[in-house]
């Protein structure tokens, strides 16, 4: 099929980047330009000859601009197949000229609903109807019509038109695919926004919309391809929207670890630091000062901390930078709500790894909210609400003869919160709101206990233990008590709970049940 020459173009854009130059170049190629509203005014003010859509349709814009291009004389001109005599005859009979290029981008719905306190009526008015309809029509008929949705494509389109006088089938297919992706993401954003008003979290059909931020060097391994997307309707601050201040390009694994650190430290209101390795916290701590929290988190497992990701919920200050720059500490990335200038200078220049460390600034200006998480499986995906449950002292049911002390309760609740962020089976040992040992991702709970005790070493004596799920047998509890654990938090609910309680009573330890499991698979 011979590539059709572009003789007539419809330009109607909200984002007017480059539109005047694009129209001027089309005019120089003897392309007639149709336009509407603000686009027509912008082109006319630039001295370009523009034919108004209302002149073509014989019908004025109405309903405050809601109806402009929704007319047979426009859509027939776009949708007609030039290779069908019946279509050509129908256009001729109605005096309709074909439209060969449609350059349209859409009302800024996403930006509008992202503004705090935006009125619902204002958001509804930013739902574009004519724009997506034009794009879909042009993209459907891409054998004959070019659908241009992205201003960044103007130069390549013009270059090809100048060189060939027409656009190749490959270019028109590429533009059509991009147009459909744009309208799909736009509709998904609207669907997600509207669904927030409904009580149904899991509707019959699920819509997602994301914008690619970056192509990553590779995925979990060098032979895997990967890219980073940001949700078009991110409900709260997140790592995908973080500002990278320096260092090497973020990798797939960096992003997962940074997100794990972000999720953990934002659970706490006071200064908190987390050290994350392979998506598990090797250490975490709360303290009066960020640098003290960082030092205590690092001591949770100094060996595993090498090459880790560090996250803080307070600005990264000079004391934090001094700690990381001293001795032979090495980190891959640092996450914080802000970075003090002196701290940036220290951490990026003094250590050998300073010029490579990724620095990610992510605001913590709102508390975490319940949202829906997505996990892919072969042939589909799973949705679930986030685990935003946090236990308090009032949730603890004492199961043993001895009740925990106030200090033990504080340590148990801290350890339980950290355990939410550890891969199951998960066991966390802590003292003074600092992690001293973590057992993560084990197939048996007793092995998770042994691993946590092994990480803690001699520091295990006098600590407390939190488990993400119940102990199916008494062996895990017995291992912990033998190492010197004084208090244990677990959900309870095992048929052998009586055995674990008896083991704790024999050792004079305290055990509390929460009734809530926190698996993280």
Q: Is 140 a catalytic residue?
A: yes
Residue 211 bridge partners (DSSP): 230
Alpha-helix runs per DSSP H in 279-424: 290-299, 302-305, 318-325, 341-349, 406-419
Q: Is 278 a catalytic residue?
A: yes
Among 140, 178, 248, 350, the active-site one is: 140
Residue 412, φ and ψ in degrees, nearest 5: -65, -45
Please answer whether residues 265 and 309 qualify as being in contact, where contact means their C-beta atoms are separated by less than 8 angstroms.
Answer: no
Q: Is the dihedral of CA 48, 54, 57, 62 positive or negative?
A: positive
Alpha-helix runs per DSSP H in 329-405: 341-349
Residue 284 bridge partners (DSSP): 274
Among 87, 178, 248, 278, the active-site one is: 278
Please answer whether residues 485 and 400 qualify as being in contact, where contact means their C-beta atoms are separated by less than 8 angstroms.
Answer: no
Alpha-helix runs per DSSP H in 32-168: 37-45, 53-57, 72-79, 85-94, 109-114, 120-125, 130-140, 154-164
CA–CA gap between residue 404 and residue 474 (Å, rounded): 19
Sorted by sequence, the CB contacts under 8 Å of residue 24 that are 6+ apart come out as 46, 48
Residue 35, φ and ψ in degrees, nearest 5: -160, 175
Please answer whether residues 508 and 398 qualify as being in contact, where contact means their C-beta atoms are separated by less than 8 angstroms.
Answer: no
Active-site residue set: 140, 278
């Amino acid at each position: 099929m011979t590539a059709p020459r572009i003789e007539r173009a419809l330009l109607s854009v909200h984002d007017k980047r480059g539109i005047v130059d694009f129209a001027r170049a089309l005019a120089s190629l003897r392309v007639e330009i149709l336009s509407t509203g603000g686009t027509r005014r912008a082109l006319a003010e630039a001295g370009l000859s523009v034919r108004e859509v209302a002149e073509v349709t014989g019908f004025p814009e109405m309903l405050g601009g809601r109806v402009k291009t929704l007319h047979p004389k426009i859509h027939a001109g776009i949708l007609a197949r030039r290779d069908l005599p019946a279509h050509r005859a129908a256009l001729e009979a109605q005096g309709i000229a074909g439209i060969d290029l449609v350059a349209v981008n859409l009302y800024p719905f996403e930006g509008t609903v992202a503004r705090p306190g935006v009125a619902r009526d204002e958001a509804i008015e930013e739902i574009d109807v004519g724009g997506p309809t034009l794009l879909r029509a042009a993209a459907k008929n891409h054998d004959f019509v070019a659908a241009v949705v992205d201003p960044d494509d103007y130069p390549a389109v013009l270059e090809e038109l100048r060189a060939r006088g027409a656009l190749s089938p490959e270019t028109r297919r590429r533009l059509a695919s991009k147009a459909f992706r744009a309208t799909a993401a736009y509709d998904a954003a609207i669907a997600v926004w509207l669904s927030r008003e409904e009580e149904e979290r899991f509707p019959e059909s699920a819509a997602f919309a994301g914008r690619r931020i970056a192509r990553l060097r590779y995925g979990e391994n060098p032979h895997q391809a990967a890219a980073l997307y940001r949700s078009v309707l991110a409900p709260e601050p997140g790592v995908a929207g973080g500002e990278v201040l320096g260092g090497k390009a973020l990798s797939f694994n960096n992003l997962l670890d940074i997100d794990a650190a972000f999720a953990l430290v934002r659970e706490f209101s006071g200064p908190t630091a987390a050290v994350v390795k392979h998506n598990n916290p090797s250490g975490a701590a709360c303290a009066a000062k960020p640098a003290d929290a960082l030092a205590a988190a690092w001591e949770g497992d100094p060996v595993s901390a090498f090459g880790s990701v560090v996250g803080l919920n307070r600005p990264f200050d000079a004391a934090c930078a001094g700690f990381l720059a001293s001795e032979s500490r090495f980190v891959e990335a640092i996450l914080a709500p802000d970075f003090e200038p002196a701290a940036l200078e220290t951490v990026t220049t003094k250590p050998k790894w300073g010029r490579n460390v990724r620095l990610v600034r992510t605001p913590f200006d709102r508390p975490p909210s319940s949202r829906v998480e997505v996990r892919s499986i072969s042939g589909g995906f799973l949705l679930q609400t986030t685990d935003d449950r946090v236990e308090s002292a009032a949730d603890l049911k004492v199961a043993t003869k001895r009740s925990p002390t106030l200090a033990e309760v504080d340590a148990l609740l801290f350890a339980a919160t950290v355990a939410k962020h550890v891969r199951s089976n998960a066991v966390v040992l802590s003292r003074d709101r600092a992690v001293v040992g973590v057992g993560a991702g084990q197939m048996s709970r007793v092995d998770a206990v042994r691993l946590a005790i092994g990480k803690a070493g001699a520091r295990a004596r006098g600590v407390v233990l939190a488990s993400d799920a119940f102990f199916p047998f008494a062996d895990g509890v017995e291992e912990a008590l033998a190492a010197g654990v004084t208090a244990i938090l677990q959900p309870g609910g095992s048929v052998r709970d009586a055995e674990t309680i008896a083991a704790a009573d024999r050792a004079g330890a305290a055990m509390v049940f929460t009734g809530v499991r926190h698996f993280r698979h």
